[in-house]
Structure 1
């Protein structure tokens, strides 16, 4: 698996946000619509159930050549042979996660404040997640939002690809890319949408057009 993945549209799962619909159906529809990477985030499952879900999701995503990332749990990532792990500031240190996972795995890290961005410069991350970009009800235990000026600062300071998460939707996804994001990560904007496939397709189009816009503007 490429340790420099396509980060354009990163789905972070939340079964509650699927609104009672089949979890795997929602994810597969999202991938069919253009999701380029999926993070399995489970806070309440037992370890065994988490591993079983990760293995099933890995099998589904392999069909589409989409990487599976496990949130927080390096042990689950290893057990399911996931493509990588996403770690927060209070999780396992990057150096330890890298040593356990070995070469060729994707490792992303959350950056909730400026010192996180600066510290991450010492590590060979696959991406840095600027979190939260905007206010979001999905995750309430974070620092204050970065907003677009904070994202611009992070882009100037960091050598890593930047994924933004928190309050992203079709109305602001383009602005995020134009202000320095490599890609966007979403939860409810896809999981709770009437059509996860159409929601993903719309977001993917916005991201790709925004990536191309500076080049077409200057041509």
Structure 2
């Protein structure tokens, strides 16, 4: 079975960026505010941008975050490698079921990078558990509730469905999808190693205050 991930992995409140939801404020300013409010992991996600634009966004965001949070790149292993080669403090990638296979991603990014993988079914876990230990560091599990940020999302798991997935693996599980502060304590009790948030922070009038609200529920 796949092991429990990289030593020292922590997630807590985990921001996934959305350029449209950030609006005129922009991704970099939104991330900076969220990190000031207590976010400690940031996944930079950009589904439609060119490689050059995504690279620039990763470089600027990582520079703004500095050493205050772990920065991951969504999907694009090439952009992660380019940003790392450019001197950015980026720490890994998050991949989905339709992206490059996790063993190949591990071979490309090396043993020091974090790899997160989206998983939400027993079949996904069965495939994952057949991999060598250390291939994947954590799982993104959801959606918990319906969310407009991913219209093609699978059927919502709810908190009980999340708990079943978390109990079936040794890997840390980060809950994602339509989560509000009112869900945080129940998800942590259900085994969540972190809470991933998109719209509740990116679209918030005050991202720092929103991040603090999630963090308060997480730490109580």
- TM-score (structure 2 length as normaliser): 0.90
Q: Distance in 2 between matches of 1:148 and 1:159?
A: 18
Deviation of 1:105 (Å): 0.4
Deviation of 1:5 (Å): 2.9
Q: Distance in 2 between matches of 1:180 and 1:56?
A: 34
Q: Which blocks of at least 5 consecutive residues in structure 2 are unaligned?
A: 1-5, 85-89
Deviation of 1:3 (Å): 6.1
2:173 to 153, 162, 180: 162
Partner residue, 2:150: 139
1:173 and 2:184 equivalent? Answer: yes
C-alpha contact 1:161 1:182 (8 A) present in aligned 2: yes
CA displacement, residues 130-181 of structure 1 (integer Å, 9 cap, x when unaligned): 0211111111222211111211211221000000100111121221111111
- TM-score (structure 1 length as normaliser): 0.90
Q: Which blocks of at least 5 consecutive residues in structure 1 are unaligned?
A: 210-219
C-alpha contact 2:141 2:174 (8 A) present in aligned 1: yes
Partner residue, 1:70: 73
Quickly say closer, same or farther: Cα 1:105–1:144, change in 2 above 3 A: same
Q: Distance in 1 between matches of 2:29 and 2:206?
A: 11
1:14 to 18, 22, 27: 18
Partner residue, 1:87: 95
Quickly say closer, same or farther: Cα 1:142–1:3, change in 2 above 3 A: farther
